[in-house]
Structures are given as C-alpha cells and as structure tokens.
C-alpha cells in the first residue's frame, strides 16, 4: 500500500467512529471512501450495528452490499443523519471541489439532504486556493459540444473527460467536462454562473456544505470542525 493510501485508510477508520447504531449514513464515492466503507462493514459485522447506507454511486452501493451493509436509495429514506465523502480539494474555509470520480451529482444530492456532512482526505487535498484540480461539470449529452464551445469562449479551458478513447459517462448517463481553471478566485461567483448555464446538470463546487473534515496527517488523523 502506498503512503497516501495509508493516510486514506487512516481517515476512513477515523470517520466510521462517528457512525452510531440506528443511523442512516450517506456513503460517498472514491478511493478514500472505499477504505471507509471497508471499515464500516467491519463495524456493522462485529458490533451488529443496525444502519442503512445511502450510496452516491453504483460502485459504492455494490461494495457496501458485498460487505453486508444494507442500502437504500436517496428517495427511499426520510432523512440522512451523516454523509461521509471524499474531496479533491478543500480550502481553509471548507469550500471544496468534488467530482474526480464522476459522481458529484449524486454526491451533492445526498449531501444537501444530510443533517451533517463530513469529508475525509489525505493532507495533499488541503489547499490555500481552489482550482489547481480541474473543476468537473456533469452535463447533458444533448448539445454538449455547443456547451463546450461556450465554456471555451469564457476561457475556462474545458475538456470532455475521456477513458479508453470514450467520453466518460456518469451513473445518470451524462458526460463530464473538466474545466482547467488553475485558480478560482471567487468560488461563489463561479458557482452561480455555472448554475445558470443550460446543459450543466451540476458542477463540482461544494460550498458551505461541510461540518467536519478529517485530514490524514503523518502523526494521525486531524479532526477539524
Ligand atoms: C467522486 C469524488 C471523490 O470523493 C473525490 O474525487 C475524491 O476521491 P479520492 O478519494 O479517490 O481521491 O468527488 O466524484
């Protein structure tokens, strides 16, 4: 296991200590969350915890079910107590970029329907300014080439996300366009602008949503509220 993976595993284990019997828990997506779901599965099996997971992707649902964690869809629960998710970048006011795993639409839907949100990251994700990580947009395929041109005209350096020479599709069968911005001076202003652009289903700016961040550091997990 790489050192970065060790830090991811560390925060995954630390996060599941916040899960209590009877909770409905939002389960994020990504390599860090994968460690967290492993640790949650262990707790569920060893402590016979009765919890329900609300997964933010098909792959997280499959992993959770394979470990014996029961899951429900977001529309099948009446509330979510706590969602634990990863992030691609977090600044010092807890604003973040997500969507590196092409799951930010479902992740944001689950996050806004959760009483509390926690992000778990290795220390490389903590930044002074957002934007070095390309900002993901989930976009409707219809008209997406035209949307790309409009984003290009704004100087946002958009690029369809590709895998194996094919456009990446999300669990909702949409495309992902990444914006190579370098820096995001005013995240709230940019979020508003992207919210208003037809064809963009959701962007990866997660603003004012998170209560707790657990950062994996050399000397252990740092829990910041
Ligand atoms: C998926 C996400 C992930 O939470 C984010 O990309 C972090 O992933 P990882 O833990 O693999 O670095 O937003 O859409």
pLDDT on residue 120? 98
Compute the average pLDDT of residues 152-178. Answer: 97
Q: Which CATH architecture has domain 135-203?
A: 2-Layer Sandwich (3.30)
Q: What is the dihedral of CA 54, 57, 62, 65, to 10 degrees?
A: 0
Cβ 96 under 6 angstroms from ligand 1: no
The verdict on whether residue 164 carries a ligand-binding annotation is no
Mutate to test the pocket of ligand 1, among 6, 34, 35, 88 (most ligand atoms within 8 A of CB): 88
- Our answer on whether the CB atom of 113 is closer than 6 Å to any ligand 1 atom is no
Q: For residue 1, what pLDDT is reported?
A: 83
Please state, in angstroms and rounded to a whole number, the distance separating the CA atoms of residues 57 and 26.
11
3-128+207-219, CATH topology level: Rossmann fold (3.40.50)
Strand partners, 220: 217
Task: Report yes or no on whether pTM surpasses 0.90.
Answer: yes
- 53 in Cβ contact with 16 (< 8 Å): no
Q: Is 125 in the pocket of ligand 1 (CB under 6 A)?
A: no
pLDDT digits (tens, 9 = 90+) for 34-84: 999 999 999 999 999 999 999 999 999 999 999 999 999 999 999 999 999
pLDDT in tens, 11-35: 999 999 999 999 999 999 999 999 9
pLDDT tens digits, 90-129: 999 999 999 999 999 999 999 999 999 999 999 999 999 9
User: What is residue 222's predicted lDDT score, i.e. its pLDDT?
Assistant: 95
- 3-128+207-219 shares its CATH topology with 135-203: no
What are the structure tokens assigned to 2, written together?
A: 């790489």
What separation in Å is there between the alpha carbon of 104 and the centre of ligand 1?
9
The model's pLDDT over 134-157, given as tens digits with 9 standing for 90+, comes to 999 999 999 999 999 999 999 999
pLDDT, average across residues 177-181: 98
Is 38 marked as a binding-site residue?
no
ipTM: 0.98
Judge whether 138 counts as a catalytic residue: no
Backbone angles phi, psi at 122, to 5 degrees: -80, 165
What are the extents of the domains in the chain?
3-128+207-219, 135-203
Distance (Å, whole) CA 166 – CA 22: 42
- Furthest-apart CA atoms within the chain: distance in Å: 55
**100 is known to lie in a ligand binding site:** yes
Paired tokens of 27? 């389960």
The string of DSSP codes covering the chain is --HHHHHHHHHHHHHHTT--TT-EEEE--SHHHHHHHHHHHHHHHHH----EEEESSHHHHHHHHHTT--B--GGG-S-EEEEEE--SEE-TTS-EE--TTS-HHHHHHHHHTEEEEEEEEEGGGB-SSS-SSPEEEEE-STTHHHHHHHHHHTT--EEE-EETTEE-B-TTS-EEEEE--S--S-HHHHHHHHHTSTTEEEESEE-S--SEEEEEETTEEEEE-
Atom from ligand 1 closest to the CA of residue 120: 10
């Amino acid at each position: 296991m790489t050192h970065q993976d060790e830090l991811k595993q560390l925060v995954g284990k630390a996060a599941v200590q916040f899960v209590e019997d009877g909770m409905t828990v939002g389960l994020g997506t990504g390599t860090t969350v994968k460690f967290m779901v492993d640790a949650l599965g262990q707790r569920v099996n060893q402590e016979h915890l009765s919890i329900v997971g609300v997964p933010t992707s098909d792959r997280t649902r499959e992993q959770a079910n394979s470990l014996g964690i029961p899951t429900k869809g977001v529309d099948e629960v009446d509330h979510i107590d706590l969602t634990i998710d990863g992030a691609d970048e977090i600044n010092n006011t807890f604003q973040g970029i997500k969507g590196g795993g092409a799951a930010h639409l479902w992740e944001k839907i689950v996050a806004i329907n959760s009483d509390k949100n926690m992000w778990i990251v290795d220390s490389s994700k903590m930044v002074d300014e957002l934007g070095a990580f390309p900002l993901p947009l989930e976009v409707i395929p219809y008209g997406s080439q035209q949307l790309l041109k409009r984003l290009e005209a704004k100087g946002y350096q958009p690029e369809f996300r590709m895998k194996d020479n094919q456009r990446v599709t999300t669990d909702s069968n949409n495309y992902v366009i990444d914006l190579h911005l370098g820096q995001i001076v005013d995240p709230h202003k940019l979020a508003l602008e992207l919210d208003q652009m037809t064809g963009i289903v959701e962007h990866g700016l997660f603003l004012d949503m998170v209560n707790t961040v657990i950062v994996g550091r050399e000397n252990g997990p740092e829990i910041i509220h």
